[in-house]
Structure 1
Amino acid sequence: MSEFEIGNLLYLILLGSVLVFWVFVQNREKLGQKLQQMVVWGLIFLGTIAAIGLWEDIRRTVIPTQAVFAEEGRIELPRSPDGHYYATVDLNGVPTRFVVDTGATSIVLTLEDARRAGMGEDGLIFFSEAMTANGPVRTAPVTLKSVAIGPFVDRDVPAFVNEGEMEQSLLGMSYLQRYARLEISDGRLVLER
């Protein structure tokens, strides 16, 4: 904590102490009732803090996830609250979360996702370059043994590993064009083979 944050914390503790003291002094004769009310408000406060802390877990269970309809040859990806479409793809057998990016030419992996998929940094040679919104970045071309969403498996898929900082791996057009149809409607991205 910085000195500024410590000062703010001490100020809030002092202010809270003064308010609690004032409540006790004003309501000496109804002290039992006031203690009950304070306990109720304390529990409400703790419940609110717990709900905020668990919000991500709650949201994941309420928000729809990707659906694979193997018999129909269709994958449906719901739009995320941030406006993007995300897909969980088995990359060399390892589940990996991608953002679907129709503006990306290829599959582009973060260094961490490449490591998880079995590609060590020692084997990566960053000799190619890609243009991003933040300028040029060095990339290493790789071949993915398998890329699978549900029963749809593609083998020996070319991709790139980004040497720069990237929050999420990108599922670009070189993979998406393997599907016969790509449609966005009603808050869903539909891929069909």
Structure 2
Amino acid sequence: MTGDDIGSLIYLGALGAALAAWYVVANRGAMNKMLQQAALWALIFLGVIAAYGLWGDIRQTVAPQQSVFAEDGRIALPRAPDGHYYATLDINGSPTRFVVDTGATAMVLTLDDARRAGLQESDLAFFSEAMTANGPVKTAPVRLDSVTFGPFEDRGVRAFVNSGEMDQSLLGMTYLQHFGRVTITGGEMVLER
């Protein structure tokens, strides 16, 4: 803590003490009710502090992440609250979050994810076309130097960059076929090699 932080803390403490003293003096006739309200606010304050301190654990429970079992050669993806399965892969060394889409033929990157993976937009040739639920979009075929998913690394993976608006990159069937087995049971997708 710097000297300014300590000064601010002392000032806020004195201000809080003055407000508390005023509140006690103003409500001295209803001391019982005042103590109940003070206890309630203290519990609310402690609850907020506890929730903030435990947020990492709470978030892990509410939105579990993918689990890698390298010794078994498998990756487990929990179903997200929205019903989809999400996976984080390293594309050319850049962590990229995908929605697993068994209805998509190929791996499709958003423009932003392609940039983060080191693909220059000026080098992309959007001459191919893909059909989506919203109609046709222009795509640029690319070959990714490195795709790492848990313990598995693939080189020279074929993918496409979407020229249109897309919220999330798609992990389609051409990549999922690198796995010998893909199963979905009990709210979990398991990929095995």
Structure 1 counterpart of 2:131, one-letter code: M
Q: Which deviates further from its counterpart, 48-57 or 93-102? A: 48-57
Structure 2 counterpart of 1:90, one-letter code: D
Aligned length: 166
Structure 2 counterpart of 1:171, one-letter code: L
Give the 3-state SS of the residue equivalent to 2:183 in structure 1.
Answer: strand
Do structure 1's residue 36 and structure 2's residue 44 form an aligned pair?
no
- Following the alignment from structure 1 to structure 2, what is the Cα–Cα distance between the partners of residues 110 and 49? 38
Q: 1:44 to 1:167 in 2, by over 3 A?
A: farther
Q: Which deviates further from its counterpart, 140-149 or 37-46? A: 37-46
Q: Could you tell me which residue of structure 2 aligns to residue 82 of structure 1?
A: 82
Listed one character per residue, the Cα deviations across residues 33-90 of structure 1 (whole Å, up to 9, x for unaligned) are 3333444444566677778889975543224321222222211111111111111101
Give the 3-state SS of the residue equivalent to 2:147 in structure 1.
Answer: strand
Taking structure 2 as the reference length, the TM-score comes to 0.74
- Following the alignment from structure 2 to structure 1, what is the Cα–Cα distance between the partners of residues 172 and 178? 11
Structure 2 counterpart of 1:98, one-letter code: F
Q: Which deviates further from its counterpart, 170-179 or 120-129? A: 120-129
Q: Which deviates further from its counterpart, 170-179 or 124-133? A: 124-133
Q: Which deviates further from its counterpart, 35-44 or 85-94? A: 35-44
- Following the alignment from structure 1 to structure 2, what is the Cα–Cα distance between the partners of residues 139 and 55? 43
RMSD: 2.5
- Following the alignment from structure 2 to structure 1, what is the Cα–Cα distance between the partners of residues 75 and 133? 29
Listed one character per residue, the Cα deviations across residues 111-161 of structure 1 (whole Å, up to 9, x for unaligned) are 111111111221122221111111111111111111111221111111111
Q: 1:52 to 1:113 in 2, by over 3 A?
A: farther
Question: For 1:76-115, what aligned pairs fall within 5 Å after superposition?
Answer: 76-115=76-115
CA shift for structure 1 position 184: 0.6
Q: Could you tell me which residue of structure 2 aligns to residue 137 of structure 1?
A: 137
- Following the alignment from structure 1 to structure 2, what is the Cα–Cα distance between the partners of residues 36 and 118? 61
Structure 2 unaligned blocks of 5 or more:
1-26
Q: Could you tell me which residue of structure 1 aligns to residue 164 of structure 2?
A: 164
Q: Could you tell me which residue of structure 1 aligns to residue 68 of structure 2?
A: 68
- Following the alignment from structure 1 to structure 2, what is the Cα–Cα distance between the partners of residues 151 and 169? 21
